[in-house]
Structure 1
Amino acid sequence: MEERQKEGIPQLRLNSSPVSPHTLSTPDKSPIVNASTAFLEDTTSHKGLAAAQAANDDEHALTFREATALFPKAILFSLGISLAIIMEGYDNSLLSNIFSLPQFREYFGKRLPNGDYQVSAGWQSATNAIGSVGGIFGLLLVGWMVERVGYRRSMHVGLALIVGAIFITFFAHNIITLFFGQLITGVPFGMFQGMASAYAADIAPLALRAVLTSFLNLCWCIGQFIATGAMKAALTRNDEWGFRIPFATQWFWPVPIAIIVFFAPESPWWLMRKGRRNETKAALKRLTAETMPEEQLENYLQLIDYTNEHEKHVQEGTTYYDLFKGSNFRRTEVAAMAWACQVASGIWLSGNITYFLEQAGFDSQHAFSFGLGMTGLTCVGTIASWFLSARIGRRTLYLVGLTGMLAIELMVGAMGIPRLSSGIGYASGVMLVLHSFIYSLTIGPVCFTIVPEVPSARLRQRTVVVARSAYQVLAIGANFLSPPMLNPTAWNLRGRAGFVWASICLIALTWTFFRLPECKDRTPMELDLLFERRTPTRAFKHAKVNAFRFTEHEMTAHTIQSE
């Protein structure tokens, strides 16, 4: 407030006069959502509020091409920080498939009566799952850290931690050391997940939000592709360096990412929450093109201020407790379940494709070739999803994706009933590749858009932390459940594991149909109003949002319509 007075900026205050909340509808029965419980007005004029309204209009009017021209540096910094997710995708794929390396099994496993070597299903499950436990600790740490020191410093702490953690896994000489190495490694990976999507959503204009947030899934896929390629190359070595070199490759990423983070600006939304208005404007300048008019930049600043003040009036705090109060409870549920659906979809079935195919009779070279082809297709699927998300929307892609994956899981399960043959093995492999492609085309990348766009701006980062923690808890269960299904010394279900995942996927599909709203083409202010008014799930897409009113007497709100 003092900073505004020094700058001579008109002060904004909340209108305390109540306006009765009416439930309205248009002739086509689309609901109208009004900003009637709280809105901002200038104490002397409409300048500040009109500027925020103009910026909101610009958000809807900007095309993808225009947005890339106006926000080139926002794209650069968002993509650069998202590269940290490559490391997590790499590590996840490495741990899922490294048990397929003969030299790894011989070094860490035990000899079976048939002369083969296997790491026990228990250690496979524990080593895969412990990274998720570390991830939860990392998420809780970064939730506390970002609120105090911001995204940039928190990212540098995470990058320093990952450099040290890699030493443990690289020099591991027994499965116990590898286990604890994965626990420590999971901490910075959890930190990256808690920051990357929230930062991307903070700095991305509406036209670029889906691409910049879902780019995280492409980074995940790139990491998996590199890991699969590294392990396929490692098959040419018969010594322990065959599995140590893939661990060492992870040291490539932290330094270039740290340099990008050093030059990146802090999130404007975080700075505004801290009352640092001058720095907020400076951050916006660093994210936008030099050709952006000063008036348009000021309008965006007013929109951030308007939204922040509105959310302060509605929810007051930014604590974890506030996530479960009022309309925020529904938003937290949507974010957490959207991420939980990734696990429930059954992606763990195709995620372990190399080990699955080896147990189905494939040799290691062919199994890794299948895996490499699959991860390459996931990159293609993620890029294709950017065009689908902009046209079809998030909710539809979730419904289509879960339905397709459910059908494939049932088919893989059915192929696991007859006696194993090479034909069934190849057919199962092809179906799993298709299974992974559907995931990367739909819920894989779309989830990274839904989770950071659903929360209020003030609670975005904490909501991402809670949502990702829900994912990690389910991932722990999936990591314990998946290896015994395929391990010949345990349940040995092979293709019949598809039936298990299909039943879980059906639960996710049911939740999506009844609870997942469509948030495409909605600004943070509009989403605030839709959730505050308890708009029905299937009415989100066509609701007309009156996001701005100048005073309670001038009920000439600007209507924003999403067709």
Structure 2
Amino acid sequence: MSGKSEDEQIEVAVPAPHAGAAAADAKTSTELAEMRGRAIQQQEHDRGYWLTLRSDPRLLLWIGVMLWTIGVRGFEAQAGGAIISITHFKQRFGEIDVEGNYFIATKWMSALSGGGNAFMIVGSTIASYILDYTGFRYLILATTLLNIASVGIEFGTTSIDMFFAGKMVNCIAIGAYQSLCTTYVADISPLAIRASVIGFCNLSQCIGPFIAAIMTNYTAKWDNDWSWRALICAQWGFAGVAFIGQLFMPESPVHLVRKGRYEAARKALGRMYTKPEDADGHLERIKLTLAEAAAEASRTEAARGGGTSYLDCFRGTNLRRTYICIFVFVAEAMSGLGFVGSYGSLMYQYLGISDEKSFHYLIGAQVLSVSGAALAFFVTDFYGRRPMFLFGCVSITVLLLCMAISGSVDTYSATTASVGFYTMFNFVYNFGLGSGVYAIAGELPTSILRGKTLAISISSSNAANTMWSFVCPYIFNPGYGNLKAKIGFIFGAIMAFWSVIAFYIVPETRGRTYEEIDELFMNKVPTRQFKSFVTVAEQRASEAYTAEKKEMNMTDV
């Protein structure tokens, strides 16, 4: 029996006089919040490229912290490939051939490059799994500390085995950076510049190799351990600056909303957007987007208790998203990027370029990489993701086949042409394919599975790069396949196949909010209709924006 009197029990049972009015007010408040969320979606549609860049500098600052962080991946890849071609490193840790020249054994070349890619898979997979529980900020801080410690192992190495161990630990951190930074940037990027900003992840990884190439040109001439150690300790510069920025960066509002921490998400958005009303509107927009994603997830039994598994990426309409993301990311490896990035200096040397000049060519190649990625930053959001990716696949196919054909002719002119085509690869790849890969794979996954889908996609690319890292030295090295520039026949044929498949499966998502992209996949819209299909979310956003404008005008009057 309850301890209350009968009168008290009756009083509790009777609703308050204004309960119905309160419920009505709550409903109105909910409807207004949804209208604000949809209106902000239309505002995102209407804002131009340059206005968006000027509107919220703090948002760009936090994006910049992530872009700087991921830059270490490109630096490490270039520095790692350059170190094994530096004379003093070869003398310290290599072997000597019958002619008295020092070299790094092919098995170690394969292990350093292939093993690094394998451990990047480990880092990316672990990070995306932990992300659901810890969020971005603390996880990426821990990753940076791991990066700093591993560089210390490489710097103090006394054997090739110790160098290998340090590099593998470093690659775990770098693999985590790849998925974490790309996911964070994709979560918070404004619609009008989203492809450019996500594609900047590629540009960041081009700036690192450019710096590494310039350093190598100078340090490789030093006749002591600093000729290669300077390249290693430079990574502390990337990590130190990144760590300072990460200490102050706000948590991803998408992660906070997923966890039901709406007030924390509001505060995080307040640190990103200049106008408070924009921050509030984006909070409602995120709620709408996650509600759409959760509705689709419930059909496939995903998002149980707010958590997700890797299997969810292969259920329902997420399967289509995942295989497209895997396809575009694996294009990196299949285009020969890992080969060019890891063995650039050696390839020049095998084509008859002196050691000193090979480093000069390497700097030129990295200038072209940065130029191509920078140009893509300005045009991707204007021309779209699909045209840029298709252009990249086709142009790389032609370039590689031209390199292989000229490499089949044993004349000075033909060799010069091969060097030119090999160098131009850096511009063509980063303009058409490199930036497009990140833009497409960053946009297509549903918001609740973005981290895991990117981890799967990046891991697939790293797995393919691992395979090529072990195989390529045996294909182009003298004493084995000795194909040299003719390796272009292999990668060119693969990219011809990739170009055809891309035409049928890679959709256009330019100008689409994440909610609209969810709806397109839920409705199973054919690939070539993505650009023209009119979504319900698009119509509702336009109606809400018009209604809000009318209400504001009436208030002003």
Calculate the TM-score normalised by the size of structure 2.
0.88
**1:546 to partner: Cα distance:** 1.7
Post-superposition offset of 1:44: 7.8
The answer to whether structure 1 residue 145 and structure 2 residue 130 are counterparts is yes
Which of 500, 521, 524 aligns to 2:514? It is 524
Which of 270, 282, 298 is residue 255 of structure 2 equivalent to?
270
* Aligned equivalents of 2:238, 2:232: Cα separation in 1: 12
Which amino acid in the other structure matches residue 248 of structure 2?
Answer: F
**Contact 1:331-1:454 within 8 A present in 2 as well:** yes
Q: 1:45 to 1:416 in 2, by over 3 A?
A: closer
Q: Which amino acid aligns with 1:463?
A: T
Q: Which amino acid aligns with 2:349?
A: E
Match of 2:292 among 302, 307, 310: 310
Q: For residue 28 of structure 1, what is the aligned residue in structure 2?
A: none
TM-aligned CA distance change 1:44 to 1:405, over 3 Å: closer
Deviation at 1:183, TM superposition (A): 1.2
Check the 8 A contact 1:547/1:557 in 2, yes or no: no
Cα deviation digits, residues 224-272 of structure 1 (max 9, x gap): 0111111111222122321122111111122221111111111111100
Given that residues 404 and 488 in structure 2 are in contact (C-alpha distance below 8 angstroms), is that contact kept between their aligned partners in structure 1? yes
Equivalent-residue separation in structure 1 for 2:495 and 2:534 (angstroms): 33
Matched, 1:466 2:460: no
Conserved 8 A contact 1:548-1:557: no
Superposition pairs for residues 219-230 of structure 1, below 5 Å?
A: 219-230=204-215
Residue number in structure 2 paired with 1:106: 91
Give the corresponding residue for 1:136.
121
CA distance in 2, matches of 1:285, 1:427: 54
Unmatched runs of 5 consecutive residues or more in structure 1: 13-41, 551-555
User: What's the RMSD between the two structures over aligned residues?
Assistant: 2.2
Q: Quick one: distance in 1 between partners of 2:135 and 2:61?
A: 19
Paired residues of 2:34 and 2:284 also in contact (CA < 8 A): yes
Q: Per-residue deviation at 1:60?
A: 0.2
Aligned position for 1:71: 56
User: What does residue 222 of structure 2 align with?
Assistant: 237
Q: Which residue, 503, 525, 535 being the options, matches 2:525? A: 535
Map residues 71-470 of structure 1 onto 2, 5 A cutoff: 71-289=56-274, 292=275, 294=277, 296-316=278-298, 317=303, 318-351=308-341, 352-419=343-410, 421-470=411-460
1:485-532 Cα deviation digits (max 9, x unpaired):
232232211111111111221232222111111111110000000001
What is the letter of the counterpart of residue 253 of structure 2? P
What residue in structure 2 maps to residue 508 of structure 1? 498
Contact 1:75-1:212 within 8 A present in 2 as well:
no
Q: Distance in 2 between matches of 1:489 and 1:99?
A: 18
> How many angstroms apart in 2 are the aligned matches of 1:532 and 1:255?
43
Structure 2 CA distance for partners of 1:314 and 1:115, relative to 1, 3 Å = same
Contact 1:353–1:429 (Cα < 8 Å) also in 2: no
AA of the residue aligned to 2:90: R
1:455/1:402 CA distance change after superposition, 3 Å: same
SS in structure 2 of the partner of residue 114 of structure 1: coil
Change (3 A) 1:457 1:398: same
Give the C-alpha shift of residue 353 in structure 1: 2.6
Higher helix proportion: 2
TM-score by length of 1: 0.87
The answer (yes or no) to whether the contact 1:82–1:219 under 8 Å persists in 2 is yes
Q: 1:287 is matched by which residue type in structure 2?
A: M
Kept after mapping to 1: 8 A contact 2:404/2:418:
no
* Paired residue type of 1:313: A
The 3 A distance-change label for structure 1 pair 167 and 45 is closer
Describe the SS at the equivalent of 2:535. strand
* Contact residue 547 and residue 558 of structure 1 kept, 8 A: no
Q: Is the 8 A contact 1:59 1:207 kept in 2?
A: yes
Match of 1:498 among 488, 492, 501: 488
With over 3 angstroms needed to count, the CA separation of the structure-2 counterparts of 1:424 and 1:171, relative to structure 1, is farther
Contact 1:345–1:508 under 8 Å retained in 2: no
Change (3 A) 1:10 1:76: farther
Alpha-carbon contact 1:62-1:207 (below 8 Å) kept? yes
What is the rounded CA distance, in whole Å, between the counterparts of 1:373 and 1:164 in structure 2?
32
Aligned residue number for residue 15 of structure 1? none
> Are the aligned partners of 1:345 and 1:505 in contact in 2 as well (CA < 8 Å)?
yes
d(CA) in 1 for partners of 2:339, 2:393: 14
Distance in 2, matches of 1:149 and 1:88, equals: 23
Q: Is the 8 A contact 2:516 2:538 kept in 1?
A: no
Structure 1 runs of 4+ aligned residues shifted over 4 Å read 8-12, 42-45, 556-559
- The alpha carbon displacement at 1:320 in A equals 1.5
Amino acid aligned to 2:180: M
- CA distance in structure 2 between the aligned counterparts of 1:270 and 1:231, rounded to whole angstroms: 40
Report the CA distance shift for 1:411/1:70 in structure 2 as closer, same or farther (over 3 A). Answer: same
Give, in angstroms, the shift of residue 63 of structure 1: 1.1
- Asked whether the equivalents of residues 99 and 355 of structure 1 are also in contact (C-alpha less than 8 Å), the reply is no
Q: Structure 1 stretch 364-373 or stretch 296-305: which is displaced more?
A: 296-305
* Counterpart Cα distance in 2 of 1:392 and 1:454: 17
Task: Classify 1:11/1:176 alpha carbon distance in 2 versus 1 (closer, same or farther; 3 Å).
Answer: farther
2:549 aligned residue: none
How many Å separate the matches in 2 of 1:181 and 1:171? 9
Task: Encode CA deviations 1:16-55: one digit per residue, 9 max, x unaligned.
Answer: xxxxxxxxxxxxxxxxxxxxxxxxxx57873233222211
Larger Rg: 2
How big is the shift at 1:319?
2.1
Partner of 1:287, secondary structure, is coil
Query: Structure 2 stretches of 5 or more lacking a match?
Result: 1-18, 547-557
Take 2:25 and 2:471, find their aligned partners in 1: how far apart are those partners?
Answer: 57
Secondary structure of 1:544's counterpart equals coil
CA distance in 2, matches of 1:9, 1:173: 72
SS state of the match for residue 521, structure 1?
coil
Aligned length: 516
CA pair 107-488 structure 1, distance change in 2 beyond 3 A: farther
